[in-house]
Amino acid sequence: MSESVSLPALGESVTEGTVTRWLKQVGDRVEVDEPLLEVSTDKVDTEIPSPVAGVVEQILVQEDETVEVGTALVTIGDGSGAGAGSDAPAAPQETAEPAPTEQPAPAEQQHAQQAHAEQPAQQQPAPEPAQQPQASAQAEVPSNAAETPAEAPAPAAPVDQPPAAQQPQQPAPEQAPAPAQAPAQAAPAQAAPAQAAPAQVASAQAAPAPAPVPAASAPASTQGGTTPAAPAAPQTTGSHAGSGYVTPIVRKLANEQGVDLSTVRGTGVGGRIRKEDVLSAGAGTSAAPAAAASTKLETSPLRGTVQPMSRLRKVVADRAVVSMQNSAQLTTVVEVDVTKVAALRNRVKADFEKATGTKLSFLPFFTLAAAEALKAYPVINATVDGENIVYPDHENISIAVDTERGLLTPVVRSASELNIAQLSQQIADLAQRTRDNKLKPDELAGGTFTVTNTGSRGALFDTPLVFLPQVAILGTGIVSKKLVVVQADGGDSIAIRSTVYLALSYDHRIVDGADAARFLVAVKNRLEEGAFDSDLGI
């Protein structure tokens, strides 16, 4: 029995979605709640889990197609709807794998054995003459299965496997003379058998085409006296190397950490390697090689190429242009002394992490100070509705998160009512789920003000762009120590202080420069006072 999976409702304002990538293909097994495909909307890129378990029988919507909510995307059943073709190649693929582990037989002997391999009753006496008839019989199974898919020899593939599996006594005497026979026959005519056997396998099925790679390594391992487990090693490394596309950011980070990507097991979608996987793998590397590698940049694979924009990039680009064309934007910057906040953070960060499970950064302090100032200066938190100014009764702060797919801004709701611990936990949770593509579209909607931490990448400050319908965005730079002039004992002196630049971009249609300055000074005074002990929440 088959069941269709439709595009679910992804949010209150989301009516359609674009299929960006199928994580499962026809014939693949899928479990309940296992990611089935990736869908992109105007608000978020998200994974669609499978509501049922079964086999993917038919994909109804192809990649890059846009459909409305409720449209059938895929059919999942017990596998009968996918056709016998999906099961037939599976048997030759299994029988073709053990063939390369033994010495390949010449093409003439393979053709000579086809007449005997057609009858299942004649396949069992084959082990009596020597090892070569067995190897040729196994190599002929995929070709026979491909030539007569509707005849009885199709299930003959599993019939060949029991004798191979039930030969624990025969491999011992057969493998002993194999080193003596294999070099004698394979040395003079090694190229001809190696090319003939893959040619038959490739003609039967495209999937066993990689079989010649372990076939070449099989004689070497036999001559060295090793077990047939040697060809399994390249297969394992090959699965890691082909786990998926590695982004330039991840590749650069791996180069800096001295991590071999072929040894990293990806935890992302479809085994994709993420930045966290590289960081975990590089945790045991020494700091000296990492520091040396970080000074040299790796050439991006995108250099000299032309790539299409992702749907998310196109949405961001369109919104950025519309915002710039429909608003009058400018930026005001202030410098803030956060020495007291830094001292408080250093004093409680160990207890804070133990109590909340998150590391205490400067961002929750900046967010809380901004949320409190928004209540006093609501025009910074307002929106424009035609000829009206709407002043919300809440402060929903969007937090800019940098991801491999692009910039996203999940929303911390009612931020002015939260303490430092709650803000830290929500920001960390939203940021992690944003990078893991686990956000719901509604979690990206409803923001009234945005905070972007450009200092996390080392920037002193920038002039962030306001995205409509919001009218302001606060950019926080890197916190750094420097010498400043301070007043002490009635005179000036030089001291080392922790400072940060705060940049407020705003829409001059309703926000004047004086409004922006008053808001920034309020945030500045709150941070320089540093009285957050009662707001820690631990």
Query: Greatest CA separation found in the chain?
Result: 107
Q: Which of 42, 508, 515, 535 is catalytic?
A: 508
Compute the distance between CA of residue 534 and CA of residue 531 in angstroms, rounded to an integer.
8
Contacts of 267 (CB under 8 A, 6+ apart): 274, 276, 277
Q: Which of 492, 512, 533, 535 is catalytic?
A: 512
Give CA separation, 27 vs 88, 343, 479, 523, in Å.
Answer: 11, 59, 53, 58
Chain position carrying tokens 């309940």: 32
CA distance from start to end of the chain: 54
- Cβ proximity of 154 and 160 under 8 Å: no
Helix (H, G, I), strand (E, B) or coil at 183: helix
Q: Which of 91, 88, 89, 111 is nearest to 197 (CA)?
A: 111
Transcribe 53-110 into DSSP letters: -EEEEEE-S-TT-EEETT-EEEEEESSGGG-GGGTTTHHHHHHHTTGGGSPPPPHHHH
Q: Is 508 among the catalytic positions? A: yes
Handedness of CA 243, 245, 251, 253 (dihedral sign): negative
The total of other beta-carbon atoms located within 10 Å of residue 84's CB is 12
Contacts of 460 (CB under 8 A, 6+ apart): 477, 478, 480, 501
Catalytic residue positions, numbered: 508, 512
